[in-house]
Amino acid sequence: MIQHSTARSNRIQRVIATPHGELVFGERCLIMGILNVTPDSFSDGGRFAKTHVAVQHAIAMAAAGADVIDIGGESTRPGSVGVSDAEQLARVLPVIRETRISGLTLPISIDTRSAAVAAAALDAGADMVNDVSAARHDPAMAGMLAQSGAAFVAMHMLGTPENMQNQPQYKNVVQNVSAFFEERAAALLAVGVDVANKMIVDPGIGFGKTLAHNLTLLRESSAAFGVRWPVLIGPSRKRFIGDLAGESNPSTHGAAKSNSRLMGTAAAVASCALSGVDMVRVHDVADMVAVIRVCESIAPS
């Protein structure tokens, strides 16, 4: 059972500075808005492939209440194959540049496993790096993070996007993910990354996890990992939500299927907000802003 009284007490007051403003953790659950400029992302592939459409969506998410815009040019859905640096750069750099030219002043995160893409994105106006491999995929990523001093998200993933959902197993998923974060923090610290003040952790919902693993991490991540680092969770529109919402029912299709994912995501986000998670990564920013406002109002201060 979620202990509503711990929503704020689980969050530690922390501030991560970025070139476009501070991320203030501890007061409420922040929102990272998803902007996939890819043709093949699992939920919105192709919708924002054109630069002007992507820029408009970034502006709309900011107006709706997003705290960070997360821009990615490579899908990491289950079974996906990697995209070259050149292709990622062609997709993300025009969007980052035009978004800044448009006047958006929120922090921008670059969602990539590539150090070269991350570095170019930071030069173009991004502020932080969201690496689903936690700087394991590209040997140059750790050094780039140390040199740039950028804030970054280190996510847990079992294997790679191509194979991560091939019967994932853990002795204890919370303990195993916690040990992973400790190992990555030690490795990054050894090359000069400021893991104490710049690192955000993401337990990787759906990245090498069964339904049971996902639910356990949703319940326990704030208490398990939040003492050391801000915790980010990304439940938005994921398959486990569809499974829980009954999408296997033959009568659930079209608009009903889309609505079930939205409502299921809202429930997951509410759980995160009420348990003290620091930030959620979502597609439907306006809806999830409303969810968090209600949850934060309900939870005792």
Q: Which residues are annotated as catalytic?
A: 238, 281
8 A C-beta contact, residue 243 and residue 196: no
Residue 237 CA to residue 58 CA, distance in Å, equals: 19
- Determine the length of the chain: 301
Which SS3 state, helix, strand or coil, does residue 12 take? coil
Contact 73, 89 (CB under 8 A): yes
Q: Is 15 helix (H, G, I), strand (E, B) or coil?
A: strand
The alpha-helical segments, DSSP class H, found in the chain are: 51-64, 85-101, 115-124, 141-148, 173-190, 195-198, 211-225, 239-244, 255-275, 285-298
Cα(33)–Cα(63) distance, rounded to whole angstroms?
A: 11
**Distances from the Cα of 114 to the Cα of 78, 130, 179, 181, 258, angstroms:** 18, 10, 24, 19, 32
Task: Indicate the pairing of strand 21-25 with strand 14-18.
Answer: antiparallel
11-19: Cβ within 8 A, 24+ apart = 11/222, 11/226, 11/276, 11/278, 12/226, 12/227, 14/230, 16/151, 16/197, 16/198, 16/200, 16/230, 17/151, 18/107, 18/127, 18/128, 18/150, 18/151, 19/107, 19/127
